[in-house]
Amino acid sequence: MTHTQDKKSMLSQGVFIFGYLAVLTVLEFFVAVTFEAIALLIVVALVKAALVVYYYMHIYKLNAEHEGDHNSYEYKSGTNRIGLWLFLISDSFVFGGLLVMRMNLLGLTRPNLNPTLGLAVTSILLISSFFMNRGETMMSNGDRKGFLNNTLITFLLGLGFLIGVVAVEWRLAAHEGLTPSSGAAGAAFYMMTGMHAFHVLTGLIFLAIVWFNGRRGLYDEKHYPVEAAAVYWHFVDVVWIFFYPALYLIGTVIL
């Protein structure tokens, strides 16, 4: 019985973590709107990222002992996990470089964007992470139907984020005169959101692959691919946790 309780507590843990993330995001938004406290914004972003990395991406699984010989599925999944995390470390240097670029070019100013719209797309992405976590947990509990439904919701929310940024936000910004060639602010904005949107797109492709294969009946025993797609999806979320304040909250608006 303790085993099933464990599974349930994993689900309720996801709910609690999402609650923390939501509160922090709202706090972040009001801190930025009411008074300039960049240090606080950085702390909030770091806390949010740490929550996602630990509870949603299960970074502690890297440390798990793997019994059995080198050819068992479990041992190989452990190797794959290390490979994926090494890739994420490598990829985070791209986003780190983009943040450096943004700070160097813009400093304590930011492009003229609508913070409310930013909050909206951020919320969509955070909620999608929540459903991704539910889907992954359900698959490892053997609940295929729940996994399929939650992954589908994640996919649709992710698609909503992509449309929100590329189709709505880019169009509004261009309408306001912020185009890729209009200056350093436009260049930084389109490059950062564009690079992130490209990663969202690849994440959506992985989700679609996992969803179709899940519907076909795979992943009963070997559910590492589900975990990999989920971890990658959460990584994209973590990147946005830093990009959102960097583009929408920090500093004063330049026109």
**Interface ranges with another protein (CB under 8 A):** 70, 75, 78-80, 82-83, 86-87, 89-91, 93-94, 97-98, 100-101, 104-105, 180-188, 190-191, 209, 212-213, 216, 218
Give me the helices (H) in the chain, please: 2-34, 38-51, 73-106, 115-141, 144-162, 170-175, 184-215, 224-244
Residue with tokens 């890729």: 180
Smallest gap, in angstroms, from Cβ of residue 213 to another protein? Answer: 4
- Specify the residue, 9 or 213, whose C-beta has the smaller distance to another protein: 213
- Specify the residue, 15 or 82, whose C-beta has the smaller distance to another protein: 82
Smallest gap, in angstroms, from Cβ of residue 188 to another protein? Answer: 8
Residue with tokens 């304590």: 108
- Specify the residue, 135 or 186, whose C-beta has the smaller distance to another protein: 186
Smallest gap, in angstroms, from Cβ of residue 42 to another protein? Answer: 21
**Helical pair 184-215 and 224-244, crossing angle rounded to 10 deg:** 160
Angstrom distances, CA of residue 216 to CA of 50, 144, 146 = 35, 10, 15
Smallest gap, in angstroms, from Cβ of residue 183 to another protein? Answer: 5
At residue 109, the 3 state secondary structure works out as strand
Query: Can you read off the two tokens belonging to residue 68?
Result: 């059995």
At residue 72, the 3 state secondary structure works out as coil
- Specify the residue, 20 or 73, whose C-beta has the smaller distance to another protein: 73
- Specify the residue, 30 or 93, whose C-beta has the smaller distance to another protein: 93
Smallest gap, in angstroms, from Cβ of residue 7 to another protein? Answer: 26
How many CB atoms are located within 10 Å of the residue 192 CB? 21
Of 150, 157, 116, 112, nearest in space to 133 by CA: 150
Smallest gap, in angstroms, from Cβ of residue 124 to another protein? Answer: 26
- Specify the residue, 20 or 87, whose C-beta has the smaller distance to another protein: 87
Query: Can you read off the two tokens belonging to residue 238?
Result: 């973590």
190, 170 contact by CB (below 8 A): yes
